[in-house]
Amino acid sequence: MEVVSLDHPLITDLVSQLRDKTTKPHRFREAVRKLSTLLFYEAARDLKTETVEIETPLMKTDGVRVSEKVGLVPILRAGLGMADGILQLLPEAQVWHLGLYRDEKTLEAISYYNKLSGAHPVEVAFVLDPMIATGGTAIRTVQTLEEWGVKRIKLIGLLASKVGLKELQEKHPNTQIYVCAVDPELNEDGYIVPGLGDAGDRQFGTYWGKEAV
């Protein structure tokens, strides 16, 4: 499995904004959108294309367009903030939502919403999940998409833990992963350390415990 951790000054600057507990929700959402766009740009590098005839103001010539059926799969709710920026790059992409939450006691991923349907799934799916912590949610999502019939699956995340990546590698070795940074460990509650807290709460202002800013 390919894991790409992007190392770029613009990305590290934005990640630092996400980590900073004083960053307000609107700034947090803006950074999530920008990072998602940058990650998708890299992850979409190998999308298949086809040649089409276009006409410039001067003459006819050949152009190129994406030929694959692309699906974006934001994981509710934290992944919602990642989709908008990507849709600006590829507005033709389909958007399929999956809802999962992590049981706080067992740390297992629990599915509560799945609207995948139809006999013709997308050709390539981009899973949008800001945090790969234990890896449970990512593993469950990839399994669901494989059962739907998707042949190529890529996962775009903002932060990952080494533990979560290892688990995902073992369960789904063919899934490509693109992240901004990899953190060394999880705490006793299963949160990435040093991390950035809960990505969903910080995007939407529904803070937990002492993380309220």
Q: What is the domain-level CATH number for residue 109? A: 3.40.50.2020
Supply the pTM of this predicted model: 0.89
Structure tokens at 137: 């949610």
pLDDT > 50? residue 172? yes
Instruction: Identify the three-state secondary structure at position 22.
Output: coil
197 found inside a domain: yes
| Per-residue pLDDT tens digits for 132-149 | 999 999 999 999 999 999
Which residues, 6 or more positions from 59, have their beta carbon under 8 angstroms from its beta carbon? none
128 found inside a domain: yes
CA torsion sign for 212, 15, 39, 100 is negative
212 found inside a domain: no
pLDDT given at position 210: 47
On average, the pLDDT of the chain sits at 89
Q: What percent of the chain has pLDDT over 90?
A: 72
186 found inside a domain: yes
Domain holding 97, by residue range, is 3-48+68-205
Class of residue 72 by CB neighbours under 10 A (exposed 0-12, middle 13-18, buried 19+): buried
187 found inside a domain: yes
Q: What DSSP state is assigned to residue 207?
A: -
CA gap 88, 37 in Å, rounded? 9
When pLDDT is cut at 50, 70 and 90, the band that residue 10 belongs to is: very high
Query: Which residues are known catalytic residues?
Result: 102, 106, 198, 201
Q: Is 108 in contact with 102 (CB distance < 8 Å)?
A: yes
62 found inside a domain: no
How many independent structural domains does the chain possess?
A: 1
